[in-house]
């Protein structure tokens, strides 16, 4: 009977030892940042992109008549459609949307001034993190946030545009997809 008192505590401790014996979860190593080739001319893929005018109509549909007219006009003025995108990457990024003036900003988030083709002045910033680039345009009472996401194949990118205004209850957002010109 001397063996039984020795075995009983071992049987109770065995599940605890088995749990401790599991290999610890491996910590993720920081991913090596791949060089993303942003440079180039890009053309809108209309079939994969939102129709901006339809998205605006959908966004303002529940507003009263006067507010619907006001916000539709503001959104149409700020959220312009463009069929072409031109990006020149380096220490400073130059992004040209359609026939608009280029937005030239350092890639480190430093704020710079940008004058739109109608001579309205905005503040612009740009940051990049691997396959994602975020450009923010602020001024005239609203903020436009452009999130560029390079697809894995490098031949297309998605652009998520979000318009925010302190007096607009919900931000307005839409997506455009661009294909790299060869």
Domain with residue 99: its CATH number is 2.40.128.20
Domain for residue 114, yes or no? Answer: yes
In this structure, what DSSP letter does residue 108 have? Answer: B
Domain for residue 11, yes or no? Answer: no
The residues of the chain scoring below 70 in pLDDT are 1-34
Q: What letters, b where the CB count within 10 A reaches 16 and e where it falls short, cover 32-64?
A: eeeebebebebebeeeebbebeebbeebbeeee
| CB-neighbour burial class of residue 104 (10 A; exposed 0-12, middle 13-18, buried 19+) | middle
Q: What is residue 29's predicted lDDT score, i.e. its pLDDT?
A: 46
Domain for residue 31, yes or no? Answer: no
Q: Which of 89, 85, 84 is nearest to 37 (CA)?
A: 89
When divided into structural domains, the chain yields a total of 1
- CA diameter of the chain: 96
Domain for residue 21, yes or no? Answer: no
- Do 96 and 42 touch, CB atoms closer than 8 A? no
Q: What are phi and psi of 31, to 5 degrees?
A: -65, 140
Domain for residue 149, yes or no? Answer: yes
pLDDT averaged over every residue in the chain: 86
Torsion sign over Cα 146, 132, 46, 86: positive
Domain for residue 108, yes or no? Answer: yes
- Tens digits of residue pLDDT in 75-127: 999 998 899 999 999 889 999 999 999 999 999 999 999 999 989 999 999 99
Domain for residue 6, yes or no? Answer: no
- Per DSSP, the three-state class of 70 is helix
- Residue 48 is part of which domain span? 40-180
Domain for residue 10, yes or no? Answer: no
pTM of the model: 0.80
Read off the tokens for 164: 């925010």
């Amino acid at each position: 009977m001397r063996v039984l008192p020795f075995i009983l505590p071992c049987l109770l401790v065995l599940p605890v030892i088995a749990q401790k014996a599991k290999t610890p979860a491996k910590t993720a190593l920081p991913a090596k940042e791949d060089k993303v080739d942003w440079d180039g001319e890009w053309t809108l893929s209309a079939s994969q992109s939102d129709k901006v005018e339809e998205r605006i109509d959908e966004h303002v549909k529940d507003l009263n008549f006067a507010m619907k007219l006001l916000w539709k006009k503001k959104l149409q003025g700020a959220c312009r459609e463009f069929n072409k995108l031109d990006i020149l990457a380096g220490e400073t990024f130059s992004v040209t949307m359609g026939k608009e003036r280029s937005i030239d900003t350092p890639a480190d988030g430093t704020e710079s001034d940008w004058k739109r083709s109608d001579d309205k002045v905005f503040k612009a910033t740009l940051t990049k993190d691997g396959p994602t680039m975020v450009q923010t345009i602020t001024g005239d009472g609203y903020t436009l946030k452009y999130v560029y996401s390079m697809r894995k194949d490098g031949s297309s990118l998605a652009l998520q545009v979000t318009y925010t205004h302190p007096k607009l209850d919900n931000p307005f957002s839409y997506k455009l997809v661009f294909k790299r010109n060869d």
